Amino acid sequence: ESRSLMPPMAVDKQRLLPLFVLALVTACLVSGGEEPARFQIPRDGSVVELDEGNFEAAVAAVDFLFVDFHAPWCGHCKRLSPQLDEAAPVLSGLSTPIVVAKVNAEKYKKLRSKYGVDGFPTLMLFDHGVPTEYTGSRKAGQLVESLRKLVAPDVSVLKSDAAIKSFVQEAGVGFPLFIGFGVDESSIAEYGARYKKKAWFSTAKDFSEDLMAVYDFDKIPALVSLNPKYNEQSVFYGPFEVHVFPGLMIIAMIFVDAGTFLEDFIRQSLLPMTVPINAETVKMLKDDDRKVVLAVLQDDSDETSMRLIKILRSAANANHDLVFGYVGVNQWEEFTEPFHDSKSSQLPKLVVWDKDEKYEVSVHIIYVCL
């Protein structure tokens, strides 16, 4: 194929200008201009090391980025590291992937200052670039469940029996679940956001009578609470919303009552009916303003204790204004010390615990004979 070539001196100046600009830009990049940092998501789901050069690129490239700001000398950080290594591949394989990364915040002080890191390790979840500090469990399994919960919708909308079953199965046992059968999403959206860190929320639009039997409700709307960890289930039939009638002055009071009843049910369902007192549940109790009827036992797994716990469960079912819990001296002696003088008091016994941080409270003691 023949082509006509223009003599060198006859090159069109208007065509030459863009080429000159392109060459100038290329020269600048090569000779000192810095190309924007790029971030490559690891295919194997491993933990990524970030620094001041690629951190912002990672935040921009990943919808959900979980970052461990650590220091080389930090003992807690060293213990956390294998948990992150175990959790990272699982998190990256979720339907909503989460990338796990580390930053040496002792070395990269600009990042430490920018994100207000004042202790190690500090864990943050970047949700489309917006950071939120993570204070939940650091064990790999619970970490996965907690983060999966945080990246889920506040309220999931389920449109079939299969979707409902899948939702319950995928939620696992780490958190309570609330399913609003025939409940409008707007009625529980506020609570789905408020209690996002503590429970799963959903509404079910289409479901069979067979599923109504499974979840033990006979009319709609109904909000079913499930606590798989403790094999507990309960139902709330409303009120869920207020119908406004013009001219009536009592609407505000009705609105307050409707919201109060619904939120009370949700808050009470976050805990099991009888609470085993341990480090995890003590944290949960701090967010509950009810007094605790506490059974102090020698061993919470012996036959006598099992009978008392069964009695507590019956009492809890009839007294929702109180929390009923139990703790064994053999299981957590340090916790029981304010309630139990091992030299002079007998067990089991019940105390009314009006919580504070030091557990220094006045208690009313009832000795239990079983």
Q: What is the pLDDT of residues 115-158, one digit of tens each?
A: 999 999 999 999 999 999 999 889 999 999 999 999 999 999 99
Separation CA 308–CA 300 (nearest Å): 10
Confirm if 294 and 326 have CB atoms less than 8 A apart. Answer: yes
Structure tokens at 130: 């917006």
- pTM (predicted TM-score): 0.76
Distance in Å from the first CA to the final CA of the chain: 106
How open is the CA angle 242-251-255, to the nearest 5 degrees? 50
Mark whether 74 is an active-site residue: yes
Quote the pLDDT of residue 71.
97
Phi–psi pair at 46, nearest 5 degrees: -75, 165
Catalytic residue among 37, 74, 189, 258: 74
pLDDT for 364: 44
User: By the 8 A CB rule, do 269 and 176 touch?
Assistant: yes
**Which domains are delineated in the chain?**
48-149 (3.40.30.10), 153-269 (3.40.30.10), 274-367 (3.40.30.10)
- Residues near 43 by Cβ (< 8 Å), separated by ≥ 6? none
How many C-alpha atoms does 11 have within 13 Å on its Cβ side? 9
CA distances from 70 to 67, 91, 130 (A): 9, 20, 20
Q: What is the pLDDT along the chain (370 residues), one digit of tens a residue?
A: 333 333 333 434 444 334 333 333 333 333 344 555 677 788 888 999 999 999 999 999 999 999 999 999 999 999 999 999 999 999 999 989 999 999 999 999 999 999 999 999 999 999 999 999 999 889 999 999 999 999 999 999 999 999 999 999 999 898 999 999 999 999 999 999 999 999 999 999 989 999 999 999 999 999 999 999 999 999 999 888 644 445 544 444 444 455 688 999 999 999 999 999 998 888 888 888 889 999 999 999 999 899 999 999 999 988 888 999 999 999 999 998 888 766 667 888 888 888 764 343 344 445 455 5
**Catalytic hit among 47, 50, 67, 77:** 77
Nearest CA to 199 among 246, 146, 243? Answer: 146
**What integer pLDDT is reported at residue 43 of this predicted model?**
80
Distance between CA atoms of 331 and 133, rounded to whole angstroms?
32
Whether 369 sits among the annotated catalytic residues: the reply is no
Distance CA 240, CA 265 (A): 11
The alpha carbons of the chain give a radius of gyration, in whole angstroms, of 29
